[in-house]
Amino acid sequence: MRIPLKGSDHFCSQVNAAFEKIQQGYLESVKPAIEMRKASAMLGDGTVTQADTFDPQNVQNFYQRLENQLEGWMKTGISRSNTDDLHRLFCQFNKDVGKYYISGYFGVQFHALPYYKADRRVVEIQKELAKIAEGATAIFSDMTGKVDKALHDELARRGFADMEFQELFTKMFEDEALAGDLDRKAKAVEGQFPEFQDMGEKKNRLFAELNDLMIELYQTAPAGIDYNRLMQGEEGVCTYFDIELIKNRKTSKREAVFETKKIPQDDADRVTAELEAVADALRKARKA
């Protein structure tokens, strides 16, 4: 069952109160790690702007400190998932508390926005690429004209100049030698324009250099979100805890739904104490 529990009995009341401390403690403790700062960045048109960002490494460092404070819990480590520009950084852990299995999740969901470094080289590369595109267009037009003429002359020599396109296509499909000869003719003409290939290679080098000048800035909201809003892709910080009844330790069989009204007070106190210990670990992780 996911906490907060829906019942009003002593077990539900105690567990929900302890989980509320965890929620509040997590939001307060992780806020310094997602505090926004201004960073200089360049837009695609060369405009330099100041954008908000935070450092995900600070979140990872916080989770590491938190894991160090969670004694007796089984940790799965710090994980990260990316879907397009939506990123998630989180840690999970679990513990058997008497007859109960408790699992917890702490995460931050954020967007990664692409920018260029605020570097003059970005504008210089864009200007160089524009010149290449302009020059390549002129050369390509000249080259394709000569290729078309060479192919037309070859087809005319073979008596195929007046053939309809569909008929010619079928002929080339059936006659591999013809298709090969025409391809060689085209490549021979293209070989007369080495500057076109040079332009392509230079363009690729410039794009690679431009890609190296790309940066990502990270944005999130310093607000709590629940599991549903996490799945919907909202920005924010999320924590959720589940509790299950252990039916068989050997087979790891557990029940997600059980009668909370019948839980003894000692069990309720024990589960509550473990949750409050997590809230205390959050406070210690923030100060560490």
Beta bridge partners of 136: none
Low-confidence residues in the chain, pLDDT < 70: 147, 152, 154, 159-163, 165, 167-169, 171-175, 178-179, 181-182, 189-190, 196
Q: What is the pLDDT of residue 189?
A: 67
Four-residue CA torsion sign, 261, 266, 267, 273 = positive
Q: Where are the domains of the chain?
A: 2-118+215-287, 121-212
Token pair, residue 62, equals 């916080």
Q: What is the pLDDT of residue 84?
A: 87
Axis-axis angle for helices 194-212, 120-157 (nearest 10): 150
Cα 225–chain centre separation:
19
Q: At a CB cut-off of 8 Å and minimum separation 6, what does 116 contact?
A: 41, 42, 43, 44, 122, 210, 213, 214, 215
> What is the DSSP track for 144-156?
HHHHHHHHHHHHH
CB 93 within 8 A of CB 76: yes
Q: What is the Cα–Cα distance from 163 to 81, expressed in whole angstroms? A: 57
Q: What is the pLDDT of residue 278?
A: 96
At which residue do the structure tokens 């509320």 appear? 20
